[in-house]
Structure 1
Amino acid sequence: MTLPRRSWLLLALLFGIGLLNYLDRQTLSILKATLKTELTLTDTHYSWLVTAFMGPYIVFYILSGRLVDRFGTRISLSIFAAVWSVANILSGLAQGFGQLAGARALLGAAEPGAFPAIQRVMMTWFPTERRAFAWSLLSPCTTVGAIMAPPLVAALTSYWNWHMAFILPGIAGLVLAAMWWASDRNPPTFPNEAEPAAQPPAMREILADRRVWLLLGARAMTDPVWYFHLFWLPGYLQERLGVSLPQLGWIGWIPSFIASAAVMATGRTTDAFVARGHSAVRVRITMFSLAAILAPVGAFTTFAPSITWALVMISLVAICCQIWFFGQGLLVADIFSKNSAATIAGLLGAVGASGGLLLNVIAGPLIERAGYIPVFVILSCLHPLAAIMLWRAKKGLLTPQPA
Structure 2
Amino acid sequence: MTQLKPVRAFGSYRWLVVVLLFLAMIINYVDRQTLGILKSTISADLHWSNSDYANVHLLFQGAYAVCYLLWGRLVDRIGARWGFALAFGIWSVAQFATSAARGIGHFMVARFALGIGESGAFPGSIKAVSEWFPQKERALANGLFNAGTNIGAIVTPLIIPAVVLSYGWQMAFVVTGLAGLIWLPIWLLLYRHPQDVKGISQAELDWIQQDPVTPITRIGWRKLLRLRQTWTYATAKFMTDPIFGMYLVWLPDFLGKRFHLDLKNFGPPLIVIYLLSDFGSVLGGWLSSHLLKRGWSVNRARKTTLLICALCATPVMFAAYAENVWVAVAIIGLAAAAHQGFSANLYALPSDLLPRGGVGSVVGIGGMLGACGGMLMSKYTGWTLDADRGYAPIFLIASCAYLCALLVIHLFSPRMEPAELIDDSTAIS
TM-score (norm 2): 0.88
Cα distance between partner residues in 2 of 1:305 and 1:16: 36
Please say if 1:305 is aligned against 2:312. no
1:288 alignment partner in structure 2: 306
2:233 alignment partner in structure 1: 215
* One-letter code aligned to 1:375: I
Please say if 1:11 is aligned against 2:40. no
* One-letter code aligned to 1:140: A
1:111 alignment partner in structure 2: 118
CA drift at 1:11:
2.2
Q: Which of 100, 106, 115 lines up with 2:107 in the alignment?
A: 100
SS of the residue corresponding to residue 252 of structure 1 reads helix
- Spell out, residue by residue over 1:67-102, the C-alpha distance to the aligned partner (whole angstroms, 9 max, x if none): 000111222111110110111111122122121111
* Alignment check: 8 A CA contact 2:76 2:361 kept: yes
- Show the 5 A alignment for 1:307-346: 307-346=325-364
1:71 alignment partner in structure 2: 78
* One-letter code aligned to 1:245: L
Cα distance between partner residues in 2 of 1:168 and 1:91: 11
SS of the residue corresponding to residue 345 of structure 2 reads helix
Please say if 1:89 is aligned against 2:96. yes
1:238 alignment partner in structure 2: 256
Cα distance between partner residues in 1 of 2:116 and 2:321: 37
1:350 alignment partner in structure 2: 368
* One-letter code aligned to 2:353: I
* One-letter code aligned to 1:73: A
CA drift at 1:31:
0.5
CA drift at 1:286:
1.4
CA drift at 1:248:
1.4
Please say if 1:379 is aligned against 2:398. yes
Cα distance between partner residues in 2 of 1:317 and 1:28: 22
Change (3 A) 1:251 1:351: same
Please say if 1:56 is aligned against 2:98. no
Cα distance between partner residues in 2 of 1:134 and 1:228: 25
Query: Which stretch shows the higher mean deviation, 205-214 or 130-139?
Result: 130-139
* Alignment check: 8 A CA contact 1:226 1:321 kept: yes
CA drift at 1:250:
2.4
Cα distance between partner residues in 2 of 1:302 and 1:291: 21
* Alignment check: 8 A CA contact 2:228 2:413 kept: no
Query: Which stretch shows the higher mean deviation, 388-397 or 92-101?
Result: 388-397
* One-letter code aligned to 2:278: S
2:424 alignment partner in structure 1: none
Identity across the alignment (%):
31
Change (3 A) 1:202 1:96: same
* One-letter code aligned to 2:36: S
* Alignment check: 8 A CA contact 1:209 1:401 kept: no
Q: Which of 30, 39, 59 lines up with 2:37 in the alignment?
A: 30
Cα distance between partner residues in 1 of 2:71 and 2:392: 36
CA drift at 1:395:
2.3
- Show the 5 A alignment for 1:151-162: 151-162=158-169
Change (3 A) 1:335 1:18: same
CA drift at 1:335:
1.9
CA drift at 1:245:
0.8
- Spell out, residue by residue over 1:116-164, the C-alpha distance to the aligned partner (whole angstroms, 9 max, x if none): 1111111112334544443343231111111111111112212322112
- Show the 5 A alignment for 1:83-232: 83-188=90-195, 190=206, 191-193=209-211, 199-232=217-250
Q: Which of 403, 410, 426 lines up with 1:391 in the alignment?
A: 410
2:202 alignment partner in structure 1: none
Structure 2: runs of 5 or more not aligned: 1-5, 196-204, 422-429
1:20 alignment partner in structure 2: 27
Structure 1: runs of 5 or more not aligned: none
Change (3 A) 1:394 1:129: closer
Cα distance between partner residues in 1 of 2:310 and 2:240: 10
- Spell out, residue by residue over 1:283-313, the C-alpha distance to the aligned partner (whole angstroms, 9 max, x if none): 1111111111122312211110111111111
* Alignment check: 8 A CA contact 1:70 1:199 kept: no
Query: Which stretch shows the higher mean deviation, 209-218 or 261-270?
Result: 261-270
* Alignment check: 8 A CA contact 1:123 1:333 kept: yes
* One-letter code aligned to 1:351: L
* One-letter code aligned to 2:114: L
CA drift at 1:8:
3.4
Change (3 A) 1:36 1:166: same
Change (3 A) 1:399 1:134: closer
Q: Which of 370, 379, 382 lines up with 1:364 in the alignment?
A: 382
Cα distance between partner residues in 1 of 2:239 and 2:317: 16
SS of the residue corresponding to residue 400 of structure 1 reads coil
Cα distance between partner residues in 1 of 2:408 and 2:192: 41
* Alignment check: 8 A CA contact 1:274 1:280 kept: yes
* Alignment check: 8 A CA contact 1:132 1:271 kept: yes
Cα distance between partner residues in 1 of 2:325 and 2:266: 11
CA drift at 1:5:
5.3
CA drift at 1:199:
4.8
